[in-house]
Structure 1
């Protein structure tokens, strides 16, 4: 499962950070990924306020073979990260792994994902990182929940769950 927050203009990041503040959506992120292994790129991992993410096996993908991150498993390829995540999911007895970014990791895993959990943020911020358009020929929206902006949120947002369409 890919978990991503995307602005209306496709932006997911600016300067290595989320270009918005949505405290209530961060609770949703925690709830969706809790108890599951998470696959994350090194730069996205470094942007987390709290590292490693508690309650989840953190699997960090980096090109730096010498990098060691306390509390996280470090891999040098997405394929190795996915294999480690699948093994961890089996040990935990969970049926999904969570891929949580960044853009390069999403690009390498979108073709093998079977579910997307997409938060659509009602903003058009500037950004240097985007998420690809979700192709309706490949994905079916199965759930949508709208959320008004809370007191600690910069904008309203909606959460969409997509499942991959089976090819014939």
Structure 2
């Protein structure tokens, strides 16, 4: 729970991504929380359009906000969909992580190995939090994504998300 006057975690990041018109949506643990199931998460998982201009703008914004890549790849690799997909296949990599240099606990994971990402982005929803909009993948897509992962934590999330979906 936030204290009165306390900023929403990742608020600056959301506002910067929105201002730059980045095509993205929240997925993962924070999405589960935003749909109404209280649980712990430290990172911010995003699904993004893998179009070159979107990736380049995303990279520039995150670097400008004081984030650094956690793996040694250069910008020209990050902004090329084919290179990212090749890297994902070769290294069995699901995300590219950016870590804040100011607060090492703040990590943004960009999904790079997600099938149907464009379709998922077309179905995203928007939640208004403290006067700004947060794009979030649909609850159905979140359930499917969590089921596909199949880890114990994800299956708990699936169970709770299905209850939330039923109540709406």
TM-score category (smaller protein):
0.3 to 0.5
Q: Point out which structure has higher relative CO (alpha carbons under 8 A, 6+ apart).
A: 1
TM-score by length of 2: 0.33
Determine which structure has the larger strand proportion and give its number. 1
Query: Which protein has the bigger helix share?
Result: 2
